[in-house]
Chain A
Amino acid sequence: MTGRLQLSVQAQDFDIEEEYRYLRNNNSESGAVVTFLGQVRDFNLGEDVSELELEHYPGMTESVLQKLLEEADKRWVINRAKIIHRVGALGASDKIVWVAVASAHRGDAFKACEFLIDALKTQAPFWKKERSSQGERWLDARDSDQDKARQWMANDDS
Chain B
Amino acid sequence: MITLLYFARYREALGQEKEQLELDSPCSLQDLLNTLRDRGEPWASTLNDSKLLMAINQTIAPPNQLINDGDEVALFPPVTGG
Q: Does B43 count as interface, using CB distance less than 8 angstroms?
A: no
**What interface size band does chain A fall in?**
20 to 34
- B76 with A121: CB separation less than 8 A: no
Interface size of B by CB at 8 A reads 17
Residues of chain A contacted by B60 (CB below 8 angstroms): 123
- B80 with A126: CB separation less than 8 A: yes
Q: How far is the CA of A123 from the CA of B82 in the complex (A)?
A: 10
Q: How far is the CA of A125 from the CA of B59 in the complex (A)?
A: 10
Q: How far is the CA of A38 from the CA of B80 in the complex (A)?
A: 13
Among the listed A57, A117, A129, which residue makes an inter-chain contact with B82, where contact means beta carbons less than 8 Å apart?
A117
Closest to A87 in B: B81
Q: Does B55 count as interface, using CB distance less than 8 angstroms?
A: yes
- A123 with B79: CB separation less than 8 A: yes
Closest to B11 in A: A55
- B58 with A124: CB separation less than 8 A: no
Among the listed B5, B9, B58, which residue makes an inter-chain contact with A138, where contact means beta carbons less than 8 Å apart?
B9
Q: How far is the CA of A63 from the CA of B57 in the complex (A)?
A: 11
Q: Does A140 count as interface, using CB distance less than 8 angstroms?
A: yes
- B74 with A128: CB separation less than 8 A: no
Q: A55-B8, A60-B74 are in contact. Are A124 and B80 (CB under 8 A)?
A: no
- A60 with B79: CB separation less than 8 A: no
Residues of chain A contacted by B7 (CB below 8 angstroms): 55, 57, 125, 127
Q: Mark B1-27, 1 if CB is under 8 A from A, else 0.
A: 000010111000000000000000000
Q: A63-B58, A125-B7 are in contact. Are A57 and B80 (CB under 8 A)?
A: no
Closest to A128 in B: B80
Q: How far is the CA of A56 from the CA of B59 in the complex (A)?
A: 14
Q: How far is the CA of A85 from the CA of B76 in the complex (A)?
A: 19
